[in-house]
Structure 1
Amino acid sequence: MRFTAVDLGASSGRVMTADITHEKVELTEAHRFANRPVRVSGTLHWDVLGLYREILDGLRRAGPAESIGIDSWAVDYGLLDGDGRLIGNPVHYRDGRTAGLTERVDPYGVTGLQFLPFNTVNQLRCDGRDGLLDRAATMLLIPDLLAYWLTGDIGAERTNASTTGLYDVTRRDWAWDLVDRLGLPRRVLPPVTEDPAGPLRPDVAEEIGHTTTVTRVASHDTASAVVAVPAAAPAFAYISCGTWSLVGVELPAPVLTEESRLANFTNEAGVDGTTRYLRNVMGLWILQECLRVWGSPDLAPLLAEAERVRIDIVVDPDDPTFLPPGDMPARIAAYCARTGQRAPEGPAQAVRCILQSLALAYQRAVADATRLSGRKVEVVHLVGGGSRNELLCRLTADATGLPVVAGPVEATALGNALVQARARGLVGDLAQMRDLVRRSADVRTYEPRERPWGQ
């Protein structure tokens, strides 16, 4: 059977076809495109209409399929009026409008969510302050918005709803008492659902040249990526590594202790009632911005040179200075001056600094996840685009002291397609899906060595 996975990351999107049998999965890229934000009148927006156009182009190129699934980054959304029209382009989470909202408003014992100023709950507070919620009938997270445009169906897929700061992780529904306390209108929150979105609208089917249905997959891209972690046993940690890195373990229930809150761990919904217990780490964003400032040089020679570099310079990737777009090499230098370190000398040293800083952040997150959850970890699975970065994988093995299994690169698209296949009865539970990934994906194992840096 053939399925189509629409996978939107924070810097690029792709439409993939997945041919799935009981024995293996074969992924083919039908269309890849950039995801470039747009700043208008001082506000950073997603070009969501441009993304929708690219998705339609990709669906046309992909051709007929059993169904379509959509995943994307979390927290951001579009507001619709009573006629289903979009009220302005969705605001990008890196926009500074929530920077002053530093006080937590969602109780950790209810939402179980890591505090980040740009969480949906804080963005909605900004929209309420600006009067936009008075005009809104519905709030749809990005994958749900795209599914609505394709099918006309309105709903909130569970894994992404759990990232909003308005979801009760124990009751597995919106935290209505919290919604009321914050003065947010109940009407804007659509029903939390895992049901299929339904068939394509006739005009959409005509435009792409075929008709099919949209299946609600694990629409938070990390949730789909974790589905495709090729683990054979539960004693694993995962790092879903791209623009952001999500580092954690898979659990049967949330961890809502005070110690967990203080460690800034998040409890997000996964497939089959699982909990993705994780910490957000800044990820390859810092490196991506450095490359942009340097004029987009070829990364491969830089990585080869950085492999030979030996420095002990490290930064905290989660320092707020690294969140917005800008001159990241200058910010690294300023951080080093502030912390009594010498700054990296040239791009190769900067790359080495970034990657070993990420590896140390991963080590801390894995150690904390193990300590706080009681989950034993014997191997780290690093999936997503970062799994192609051999130096990052080696440094992560060295930092954690654990084997790092790198791959699959397209874990998110794989997990997206596998959940669609399960909806068609082609595959069963998580264990069966992961077995299929192990038989299909190219992975590489990095064994830990003695760590020569950041002692």
Structure 2
Amino acid sequence: MSVTSQSDATFAAVDLGATSGRVITGLAGPERLTLTEVHRFANTPVRLPDGLRWDVLALYQGILDGLRSAARSGPIASIGIDTWAVDYGLLDADGALLGLPFHYRDSRNGRAAEQVLAVCGAQELYAVGGLQHLPFNTVFQLAAHRTSAQWGSARTMLLIPDLLTNWLTGSVGAEITNASTTGLFDASAGAWSDELIGRLGLERSWFPPLREPGESAGTLLPHVAEYTGLPAGTPVTAVASHDTASAVAAVPATEPGFAYVSCGTWSLAGLELAAPVLTEESRAANFTNERGVDGTVRYLRNIMGMWLLEECRRTWGLRGDAPGLAELLASAARARPFAAVIDPDDEAFLAPGDMPSRIDAHLVRTGQVPPDGPGGYVRCVLESLALAHRRTLRQAAALAGRELSRIHLVGGGSRNELLCQWTADATGLPVTAGPAEATALGNILLQARAHGLAGDLVSMRQLVARTQELRHYTPQGDRRAWDGAAARLAPG
């Protein structure tokens, strides 16, 4: 029988991903870290006449229902929220939301990037914000939004986790790890960039005070406490609200020189640094400098990730041909190695739709033959992701002047043994896989630390390494085959 220590406490993590949301309770203490999923709900975007939107009201109801389930499990010390980055809601003078937030995959964003770059060049944006150029960065989304009727009524911009926190507590703030993904944050100063905000004609008053992970974000509003059954005054703690930042905080690294891949819908591959890398070489290589816990920098690049596989599976399901994941992976393991490779970062793969057909078009365009069955597509996707991990981590190490000793692959992708092994084979580095629930663990640990039940970042990672199931992969096979496949993806 498990006995709970007087120094243990239970925290609730709200973890929203691109396709689903969850409320997870975590029992945390100096030698304990266990998770229990208490509620899961769909995150289904809605295509309206003016574009693709997040159904944030349904997400909020899912959160409330999840917190209600959490309350039935016992006392909750606090609540923390993490989500994806860059997307936001605009509030009017009364604090009311002006329409459902746009989805980062909406097609409006590419056109707006040109408008921003005409005012602030790419070099200037990078020298201040240090962000990878992605068409959906918040700075570009805001430029697309300003032609709407809502714009004139807007008084506050809240990123998605800050918006949901506002609805729970009534407080207004901007958690720093997510703020750093907007393109309007000064990566060196660790503050909003008044210069960029002014140059782009935005109102400085729209951007709330910044919060660090671990700071109080208020307490539950009375009507929220009543609905959920949680006590009035239950704290809400600002965690690393960008899900990748929470995941990196839970990387079980016990040695220097580690790299990480946080693998889910996206693969976020990079290093943890003490300071941003804002060189022209870094900009040209399209690396991002996002804020981590305790002033660290997540120096990384976004790779399209398991989105490619999930969109293939969704397309096959719509056609009535939906083999299970285990069957697909077994078929991929039998398929011919390196029969076809793609660049996962091709923008053709960004939008929802028929992914196998887009992979076919990419392969034909690059002089390759499309796969002849689902196993071939899955092998193509996973080998291509392993090659993208290799390319990204080698570039990051070179640009940051670091030597790499090990890769920690966390998130849902860590359950995929083929991807883990092929990442080790492609890079020539050992891979430690897990925890799969790194984001929720990071969320819980940062709440626990705020309540005095966890130590510094090193101690938190050591706790993860002691308490979570990990798997280890060593490089195997002929490295020359991976070198040859990588050469097929090289520019030019």
Instruction: Establish whether TM, by shorter chain, passes 0.5.
Output: yes
Unaligned runs of 5+ in 2: 1-8, 487-492
Q: Name the structure 2 match of 1:390.
A: 417
**Contact 2:111 2:144 (C-alpha < 8 Å) held by counterparts:** no
1:39-438 to structure 2, matched below 5 A, reads 39-63=47-71, 64-103=75-114, 104=117, 105=120, 107-194=125-212, 195-211=215-231, 212-295=234-317, 296-312=322-338, 313-438=340-465
Q: Which amino acid aligns with 1:76?
A: D
SS in 2 for 1:95: coil
- 1:8-27 deviation line (CA, Å, top 9, x unaligned): 11111111111012112011
- 1:38-70 deviation line (CA, Å, top 9, x unaligned): 101151011100000001111011113100000
**Contact 2:45 2:103 (C-alpha < 8 Å) held by counterparts:** yes
- In 1, Cα distance between equivalents of 2:468 and 2:195: 44
- 1:263-302 deviation line (CA, Å, top 9, x unaligned): 0000000001100000000001111110001014311111
- In 2, Cα distance between equivalents of 1:206 and 1:269: 35
Q: Which amino acid aligns with 2:19?
A: S
In the TM superposition, residue 203 of structure 1 has moved relative to its aligned partner by: 0.4
Unaligned runs of 5+ in 1: none
- In 2, Cα distance between equivalents of 1:127 and 1:101: 9
Moved more, 123-132 or 18-27: 123-132
- In 1, Cα distance between equivalents of 2:308 and 2:454: 38
- 1:115-143 deviation line (CA, Å, top 9, x unaligned): 10110001111111324331111110000
CA RMSD of aligned residues (A): 1.1
Q: Name the structure 2 match of 1:8.
A: 16
- In 2, Cα distance between equivalents of 1:334 and 1:247: 26
**Contact 1:311 1:349 (C-alpha < 8 Å) held by counterparts:** no
- In 2, Cα distance between equivalents of 1:41 and 1:107: 32
SS in 2 for 1:129: coil
- 1:242-272 deviation line (CA, Å, top 9, x unaligned): 0011000000110011100000000000001
- In 2, Cα distance between equivalents of 1:98 and 1:146: 23
**Contact 1:387 1:408 (C-alpha < 8 Å) held by counterparts:** yes
Moved more, 89-98 or 28-37: 28-37
- 1:146-193 deviation line (CA, Å, top 9, x unaligned): 000000000000000000000001111111111111111112111112
**Contact 1:45 1:91 (C-alpha < 8 Å) held by counterparts:** yes
Q: Name the structure 2 match of 1:22.
A: 30
**Contact 1:159 1:220 (C-alpha < 8 Å) held by counterparts:** yes
List structure 1 runs of 4+ shifted beyond 4 angstroms: none
- In 1, Cα distance between equivalents of 2:373 and 2:45: 28
- In 2, Cα distance between equivalents of 1:310 and 1:201: 58
In the TM superposition, residue 311 of structure 1 has moved relative to its aligned partner by: 3.4
- In 1, Cα distance between equivalents of 2:429 and 2:333: 20
**Contact 2:24 2:36 (C-alpha < 8 Å) held by counterparts:** yes
In the TM superposition, residue 102 of structure 1 has moved relative to its aligned partner by: 4.4
Q: Name the structure 1 match of 2:5.
A: none
Q: Which amino acid aligns with 1:185?
A: E
SS in 2 for 1:197: strand
- In 1, Cα distance between equivalents of 2:48 and 2:153: 21
In the TM superposition, residue 309 of structure 1 has moved relative to its aligned partner by: 1.2
In the TM superposition, residue 110 of structure 1 has moved relative to its aligned partner by: 0.5
Moved more, 140-149 or 124-133: 124-133
SS in 1 for 2:380: helix
- 1:202-233 deviation line (CA, Å, top 9, x unaligned): 00000000131100000000000000000002
Q: What number of residue pairs does the alignment pair up?
A: 455
SS in 2 for 1:336: helix
- In 1, Cα distance between equivalents of 2:30 and 2:201: 50
SS in 1 for 2:403: coil
Q: Which amino acid aligns with 2:223?
A: D
- TM-score by structure 2 length? 0.91
- In 1, Cα distance between equivalents of 2:412 and 2:452: 29
How many percent identity over aligned positions?
62
Q: Name the structure 1 match of 2:43.
A: 35
**Contact 2:112 2:143 (C-alpha < 8 Å) held by counterparts:** no
- In 2, Cα distance between equivalents of 1:102 and 1:80: 23
- In 2, Cα distance between equivalents of 1:277 and 1:109: 14
- In 2, Cα distance between equivalents of 1:297 and 1:147: 39
**Contact 1:60 1:209 (C-alpha < 8 Å) held by counterparts:** yes
- In 2, Cα distance between equivalents of 1:407 and 1:34: 24
**Contact 2:248 2:438 (C-alpha < 8 Å) held by counterparts:** yes
- In 2, Cα distance between equivalents of 1:164 and 1:184: 13
